[in-house]
Chain A
């Protein structure tokens, strides 16, 4: 991975003095951060340091107590719930540790659903979903329900779903955390490939190998703040 952090490029994510409190507990404590287009950023830190909260803020899944979260030109603090939903469907794709596929839908519909939300006709959405599943090597499982898939297969389906609407930003929360080493390797390769074709990535992980292989920047978070930031050398 050779992508450099270049401030001249378009800023996709800007967090400025973001605080998030859950009752008495501070999850984020004035965190500031910028991510530019094409970056692959890994966020690491001990449990409870605020990594997942940071990801939820950027995804518009949660709101800051104070501070500004701006993604792809949208000030998320100013959007209502419906606005946040519209923002999510058009601007971000998410990959979770435990996949979070919809158990009720077969694989193909799970992936196509994201496009249908943007108004894409069902047939067209399914065609694109099938292309993505084919690229990710799980097309033959398109009619299966998630419960019948292996962990690696499920995560590849989740990646396909995240890419469905060609998001400006791909967010991944411990994407290899629930996978065996072989499936984890496959997912890492996938993320690298995506970044190489220009996809901006923000990965939250405990896994140093994932961070060093997939990211060009490493942000270490401690007690809700950015403790250290460094540039990584590609190892892939």
Chain B
């Protein structure tokens, strides 16, 4: 066994508490970092992988075949910048009835393809076989898993009288179509458009994809290109929900990393300073400067490696369920989000100990340079002159002596004080950020419930296997619901898939009539739709399509078209969903009827009794009391709380460690002070005071940082556009509480070592050198 190992092992064994604190700090930080990395990776990695495997199209372009010929389109595949292309494939839109293959009804974009393979968009067949004969259709299945074989054979009657039989289910990451038929069948359906699938040599940004498409379609007749969809849009939609968590997950990851680095730096620096005599003895014995550095680095590597391994295990255990929650309900195609790449663990297992060693290296190099004679004679670090001056100044004040002694202590070790304060600042920043996020998310979760009244959700057609049709008509249902005691407003809803010009994928349109008080709180920009042809949508929908207020789009359903204007921006919404009034639906589908109703009850009304009364109206109605929150809010609040607990713990451990080192270093001083009459209570006061001041200053600095971080996070959540009222969550009592958080973190961290200092017996302290 080498001398370095002997000395390091002994140091680890005898400094159990310090070793434990370092290990715990590294464990918490590693878990935090791994969680953040796993989420970042899951949000983009699986999509890229699955997309590459299917040779997904960088751009799916739709052309008007009345303006451009097949030959002209085929030539675009050989234009500069086109890596490879597939098509042209005939494309048309067919109507589907409600509940066909569990769909909401609306339209289906059908493409004629002889083969699911090819140089671009290699479609994966999930069940059945590819369409090889007229009358056969393969349907795109975008949900995870397989639909099974039970649905094969389902028929679809088109408006032109053609009967199509489902012979297979397939999935296309490119989302190039909702269904596929043979080219012969497509010809029989009389397509009016054609599809080209391109992979470009430069696909890095939307701008470059647009430029590549423009180059490829140079020379084609004007306005023959009717729409284009890029893979970047799909990728963004894929991670839309995760994006709402990413800003603060990343921020918490960075905070975890910073706190970890600072505290490890603090701990190591403290270990070096409090180990001056130890270093001197080692050097006097003949340890070379490099061996002294090695002793200190080895001493720290042990808890760092153990903490890192345990933190990686904990991170892996936590990341899987958290990712599953984060991606619940997101259309992920064939991409897998539950699997954590082993590389992330490798990064943590290598990166965190490296970080610890790096943080340790600076103070360890101080030990390297420290002259042995100075170290061995000092018995402690040399005191800073400024610290002594401050002590003298404080001694002259009327403050109780233990308080003035405590207040002066931070000035004796300015470097360590700064690191400790940084830990407190980050702790307070975390608490501030978390409290702000929680307030924002709770306010967001309560949107539409400001009046305090409950909501009853009513659907037609019974529930579960009970598919009893309702006896009452749509308008009769609405009238009866309004007439029930306690009902203050009724809103009827119809959901339909409509086609939007220029988009291969249909969009989900919600059509409402009746009580529109909900819009009072959900429209963050513009106004609620009122006339026919007015739509509103969430930030994700608008951003991904480059739409803004005042822009016009064309919606199509059942062959009817309407030009609609974007008049409002909702606080949030699905990236594929828009909302409009019943008047718009009346233009697209005059015979449509509502399938869902929301009843707003008067405050204090008995929601359960009301739901029972609704069910009694008609056996075809199913009523349920709506939850008072939403899963997204709960998830964010949970994440926020978990990270706050982790990082506050880490910050408190940092303070704890600093006080512990100070006490160890000042044992003789404390013994002397007790020998001249300082009571244990005064020792506690002095020790706690030494960090409480830091806590107050840390609070003052951490609060503005936390507020800025909160604003950065809520402004960058992709799918939610928080209004100012939800962002301005800070009030005087809350700020005062935040300030106290700094002091609380400091006092909590200091209390245990302060009490242990108070309990030290004078004889043992003065006896020990």
Contact = CB atoms under 8 A, between A and B. Distances in A.
B281 A100 contact: yes
Nearest to B8: A104
A100 B280 contact: yes
Nearest to B11: A104
Interface string B262-297: 000000000000000110111111111111000000
Interface string B118-156: 000000000000000000000000000000000000000
A114 interface: yes
Interface stretch (B245-253, B331-339, B372-380): B372-380
A102 B278 contact: yes
Interface in A33-68: 52, 56, 59, 61-63
A82 B288 CA distance: 5
B355 to A, nearest CB: 26
Contact of B6 (A116, A118, A161): A116
Interface in A85-108: 85-86, 88-90, 94, 96, 98-105
B769 interface: yes
Contacts of B291: 85, 117
B1 A122 contact: yes
B479 to A, nearest CB: 85
Given A113-B3, A113-B6, A117-B285, A62 B371 contact: yes
A147 interface: yes
Given A61-B284, A96-B376, A113-B6, A81 B14 contact: no
Contacts, number: 89
B286 A90 contact: yes
A98 B277 CA distance: 11
A29 interface: no
Q: Is the interface of B mostly helix, strand, loop or mixed?
A: helix
Given A90-B286, A100-B281, 4 more contacts: A62-B373, A62-B374, A85-B291, A103-B278
A109 interface: yes
Interface in B637-682: none
A93 to B, nearest CB: 9
5 contacts: A82-B288, A101-B281, A104-B14, A113-B285, A118-B286
B605 interface: no
Interface in A200-229: none
Given A99-B769, A104-B10, A117 B1 contact: no
A61 B283 contact: yes
Contact of B286 (A89, A105, A145): A89
A43 to B, nearest CB: 16
Contacts of B278: 102-104
B141 to A, nearest CB: 65
B288 A114 contact: no
Given A62-B371, A62-B373, A100-B280, A85 B286 contact: yes
Given A104-B14, A109-B10, A113-B6, A147 B768 contact: yes
A100 B286 contact: no
A105 B10 contact: yes
B467 interface: no
B510 to A, nearest CB: 70
Contact of A52 (B10, B15, B377): B377
Given A85-B291, A122-B1, A59 B284 contact: yes
Interface in B445-503: none
Contact of B284 (A52, A88, A109, A112): A88
A169 to B, nearest CB: 13
A52 B284 CA distance: 14
Interface residues of B, number: 35
Interface of A: 52, 56, 59, 61-63, 81-82, 85-86, 88-90, 94, 96, 98-105, 109, 112-114, 116-118, 122, 145, 147, 161
A88 B281 contact: no
B13 interface: yes
Interface in B220-248: none
A59 B286 CA distance: 10
Given A104-B13, A104-B14, A86 B769 contact: no
Interface of B: 1-3, 6-7, 10-11, 13-15, 277-278, 280-291, 368, 371-374, 376-377, 379, 767-769
B289 A116 contact: no
Q: Which 9 A-B pairs have the closest CB atoms?
A: A89-B286, A104-B10, A61-B373, A62-B373, A85-B288, A104-B14, A116-B3, A56-B373, A61-B372
Contacts of A52: 377
Contacts of B372: 61-62
B281 A104 contact: no
Nearest to A87: B286
A210 B768 CA distance: 25
A117 B376 contact: no
A102 B283 contact: no
Contacts of A100: 277, 280-281, 284, 376
Contacts of A103: 14, 278
A116 B2 CA distance: 6
Contacts of B286: 85-86, 88-90, 114, 117-118
Contacts of A112: 6
B279 to A, nearest CB: 11
Contacts of A96: 376
B289 A85 contact: yes
B7 A113 contact: yes
A18 to B, nearest CB: 14
A90 B368 CA distance: 20
A18 B14 CA distance: 41
Contact of A85 (B7, B10, B287): B287
Contacts of A62: 371-374
Contacts of B374: 62
A119 to B, nearest CB: 9
A118 B1 CA distance: 12
A84 to B, nearest CB: 8
A81 B768 CA distance: 30
B284 A105 contact: no
B285 A114 contact: yes
A103 B15 CA distance: 11
A232 to B, nearest CB: 28
Contacts of A147: 767-768
Given A56-B373, A104-B14, A109-B6, A117 B281 contact: no
A102 B769 contact: no
Nearest to B372: A61
A115 B410 CA distance: 41
B290 A82 contact: yes
A94 B284 contact: yes
A89 B737 CA distance: 58
B290 A105 contact: no
B769 A104 contact: no
Nearest to B13: A104
Nearest to B379: A98
B1 A116 contact: yes
A96 B282 CA distance: 13
Contact of A86 (B3, B10, B288): B288
Contacts of B379: 98
Contacts of B767: 147
Given A52-B377, A113-B3, A81 B289 contact: yes
